Structure 1
Amino acid sequence: MLTNRRVVTGHNEEGASCVVFDSTMDALPLPYPPVALAWVTDGLVASNEGSDDTCTAVPSIELWNAHNAKFILMEMQPGDEHPTHQTDTVDFAVVLSGHVRLTLDTEEVILGPGDLMVDRGARHAWNVHGNEPAVMVAVIVPAHPRSGKDA
């Protein structure tokens, strides 16, 4: 289970840089592999004002399709299935450990530690390739829907 530390910086009342949050990230209660939400911006052009924790949203498809950026950490165990899905986003992902199988409509790709993937709204699914858990980090940003997009 995810137990990663999250350190968020900001500014104090005098304008000096400081740590605003230093805590363990909890996995979101989702019906598929654990995802921890490290940060959510308040819009496409993020604000660095305030000191509110933006990671209190209830997970839903609306959260993933909202017009803001998300920074997530995902852990998958062998046998876990991250279901086929498609969102109006561009996802920038990095495999930190283990190996994952990226399944697309026309092919499969095996990704390992250090491999980068940019998903441009393509229908896809994830699962672990091998017997070791896999951990990925991703930044998800909104995108215009693709014309002719399949449901």
Structure 2
Amino acid sequence: MFVEVFGPEHHGRVRGYGAGVTPTKLWESEQKRLESEQKRIEADAELKEEVKHLKSMLEQQAIQMAEHKRHFEEQQASQMAKQRAHYDNMMMQMLSHITSQSAQSSNKIIVDLKNCSFSSSSYENRKGSVMVYLPKPPVFANPPSPSPNLPTKTNFPIIVP
């Protein structure tokens, strides 16, 4: 029935593809298409393998970064603890020196060390000084009247309640 409607086969033509399409062109293109499909499948497999490899490398790098970060934080904490101990020691020496000097003179300084805080910012360190912050402003007990013979710094007792 198909031959009756469309007529007999013609040499060098493929039915249903129109004029100009030969069996050789059609089969070669089919073969080329299969080859290109096979190459694409192989390339996809290689890319998937490379993606797996890159993911594993990223995971290893993330683990290493976390380990380096933890190690850095530990070093920083230990260094800060050493610096804090050093500054606390310096403050205690300075306070003991001040109290020993005040004991030798007539001035009295009473400081509650439990409520004091020590500060040593970079600006204060450059000047070579350390500040002691008292919890409350000092209360001056019986400040003497200013006299030209007395020094203006701490010539009367400082009492911190």
Same fold (TM over 0.5): no
Normalising by structure 2, report the TM-score: 0.19
Higher strand share: 1
Normalising by structure 1, report the TM-score: 0.20
